[in-house]
């Protein structure tokens, strides 16, 4: 699989840039702006979350384009 990959929650204003199988950025809505978090998976539950995002398991993830992620990243506090 090629990286980066981009995802978002289907019903929540939270966006993800998956950098590798062990690292991702998360943009979470905080008031009217987004906050960016960098997560490096060190434990199994974090690694499992990344796998779920990549495979869009559980019906909660949506594949998005890089452009959509970058537009949201412009709104980061």
pLDDT tens by residue, 19-75: 999 999 999 998 888 999 999 999 999 999 999 999 997 789 999 999 999 999 988
The total domain count for the chain is 1
The whole domain housing 33 covers 5-73
pTM for the whole structure: 0.91
**pLDDT score, position 31:** 86
25: nearest Cα among 1, 5, 10: 5
DSSP bridge partners of 35? 28
């Amino acid at each position: 699989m090629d990286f980066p990959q981009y995802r978002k929650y289907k019903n929540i204003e939270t966006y993800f840039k998956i950098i590798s199988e062990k690292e991702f950025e998360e943009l979470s809505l905080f008031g009217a702006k987004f906050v960016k978090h960098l997560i490096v998976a060190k434990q199994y539950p974090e690694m499992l979350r990344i796998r779920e995002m990549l495979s869009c398991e559980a019906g909660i993830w949506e594949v998005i384009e890089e452009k959509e992620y970058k537009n949201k990243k412009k709104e980061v506090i």
